[in-house]
Amino acid sequence: MDLPRFKQVRARLWQLSVIVVVVCALGLAGCREEPLKEQLLTLDQVAQLLAEGRTESASDAVKSILREQPSNARARLLLGQVYLAEGDGTAAEFHLRRSKEQGFTAPELFISLLRALLIQGKYSAVLQESGEDFRFSNEVYTLHGWAHYWLKDAESARNSFQTALVNQPDAQEPLPGLVALALDSGRLSEAETLLRRFKLADAEFWLLSGRLALLQHRLDAAEAAYQRVTHLRREDVRGALGLIKVALVSGRADSALQNINLLLADNPNNLGALYLRALAALQANTPALAEASILEVLDRSPEHVASLKILGAAHLAQGSLEQAAEVFTRCLNIVPGDLAVRKIVALARLWSASPYRTLDLIGPALAEQKVDRQLLSMAFIAQMITGDARGAVERLHILEAASPDEPENSSLKALSAYALSESAEVERMLMEALEVQRANQLERERVLQRV
C-alpha cells in the first residue's frame, strides 16, 4: 500500500475508533442512568430537598418511596408537606391524616396539619384540632392567632400572638399577625414599630410594608414594596395583587384590569385576582364584568361578605334594585350589626316601592341609633308613603331637634304639611326651602369665584 493511501486508511480508522468510544461512553452512561433514577433516596434526603425548596424533586422521590413502602408514616408526612409547600391544602391534609393513622406523632405533623387546615380556610378546625403535648408550642399559638384573625376575633388573635411573643421575645413568627391587626385597626404607628423588629426583609415584611404605605397613601412606596415581593418570590401572586391595588387606589382602573387579566392567564382560579377584577370593573363602570367576576369568587366562598357587597353594588349599578336588596340581605344575615348594609337594603326597598319592608328593616336600627339622620329620613319618607303622616311628623321633630339648621328640614316639613292638608303652611315652607337652596347656591358661587 502506498504511503498516501496508508495515511488515509489510518485516519479513517482513527475516526471510527473515536465514534465507537463515544457511542460506548454514551451507552454506558445511559445504562448507568436508569438505576440511579430508580434508586430510592433516604427520607432525610427528601426532607433536605423540601427544605431547599425543590418540591418537584422531593415529590418524585417520596412518591417512589411510597410505591415501595405504602405504610411508611414518615414518607406520608413528607408527601403531605410537599403538597403544603405547593399550596394544596386538601391533598396535604389527606396525607397528613394518613400519616397520623399510621402512627406518626411528632410535633411537625401536628403543626403541618394546622397549616393545611389554615390555607383551606378551615379556621374553626384549626382551633379544635387535638395535638396532645404540642398544643401550647409557640408555633401553635401563632397558627391559632391566624385562625382567630380570619374568624374576625381580633382580641383572641392578639392574645395568641402576644402569648407566643411573651414566651419567646425575639420570635419572628407572631410579628406579621400583630402588624396585620395594627393595620386593620388603623394603628399605623404601632405597625411601623413592629415592622422595625423584623430581622429579615423577606416577602412577608415587604407585603406588610406595602399595605402600610397604601394606608398612608404613599403610593410610590407601596408600589416599590410590592415590586420587592415579586422579585423575592415570583410565584407569590400577592405581590402582583398589591401592585394592582396601587393602580386601583391611583384611579388607574384600566391599567389594573390589564394586569389582572395577565395574572389570571397564569392563575385562572386565583380568588384575590377575581375579587380585584370585580372592584376594578366597578371603578371602570362595567358592572356586568364586576358581577361575572365576583360570582366566581362566591361560587367557592358563598359567605364572603365583601364579595357579596360588590355583587350588590353591581346589581345597583345595573338598576336591579330587587336583586341588590336580596344580596345585601344575605350580608345582613351573616353580619346583622352592619348598619351601612342595613341602610342600603332599606333604601333599595324604598326605591322599589316597598315602604313597609323599609320600616321593618330600619326599626331595630332606629331603636339603637335614635338620631341617625339617614335612618330618620328614610323612616319619614316610608311613613309618608304608607299614609302615616303623624308618625312621619314625629320623625321630623327628632330630625329638627338633632340638626335644626339642616336645609333638608324645610322640604320635609313641606311634605308633612301637604300630607296633613295644611295648604297655606305648605306654600310658606316650600318658599322657605327655595330660599335656603338659593342662598346655598350663591354661597357655592362665591366660593368658586374666590378659588
Each residue of 230-261: pLDDT tens digit?
Answer: 888 877 788 888 988 898 888 888 888 888 88
What distances in angstroms separate CA 284 from CA 53, 148, 274, 280, 396, one per listed residue? 40, 35, 15, 6, 39
Residue 160 in domain: yes
CB 352 within 8 A of CB 322: yes
Q: Is 413 a residue whose pLDDT tops 70? A: no
The total of structural domains in the chain comes to 2
- Burial grade of 2 (CB within 10 A; 0-12, 13-18, 19 or more): exposed
CA atoms of 433 and 296, how far apart (whole Å): 48
Quote the pLDDT of residue 144: 94
Last residue of a domain, one of 184, 205, 240: 184
Residue 359 in domain: no
Residue range of the domain that includes 148 = 141-184
Residue 65 in domain: yes
Q: Name the pLDDT band for 356 (thresholds 50, 70, 90).
A: confident
Quote the pLDDT of residue 417: 57
Could you give the percent of the chain with pLDDT greater than 70?
Answer: 78
Residue 286 in domain: no
Give the model confidence (pLDDT) of 101-125 as tens digits: 888 888 888 899 999 998 888 888 9
Quote the pLDDT of residue 446: 61
Last residue of a domain, one of 38, 73, 101: 101
Residue 290 in domain: no
Residue 443 in domain: no
Residue 229 in domain: no
Q: What is the dihedral of CA 362, 367, 369, 370, to 10 degrees?
A: 110
Q: Is 33 a residue whose pLDDT tops 50? A: no
Give the model confidence (pLDDT) of 360-379 as tens digits: 877 877 777 667 777 777 78
CA atoms of 128 and 145, how far apart (whole Å): 13
Q: What is the DSSP string of 214-274?
A: HHTT-HHHHHHHHHHHHHH-TT-HHHHHHHHHHHHHTT-HHHHHHHHHHHHHH-TT-HHHH
Residue with cell 303623624: 390
Quote the pLDDT of residue 52: 79
Q: Is 93 a residue whose pLDDT tops 70? A: yes
Residue 154 in domain: yes
Quote the pLDDT of residue 26: 37
Task: Return the amino acid letter for 34.
Answer: E
CB 108 within 8 A of CB 77: yes
Exposure on the CB side of residue 427, measured as CA atoms within 13 A: 2
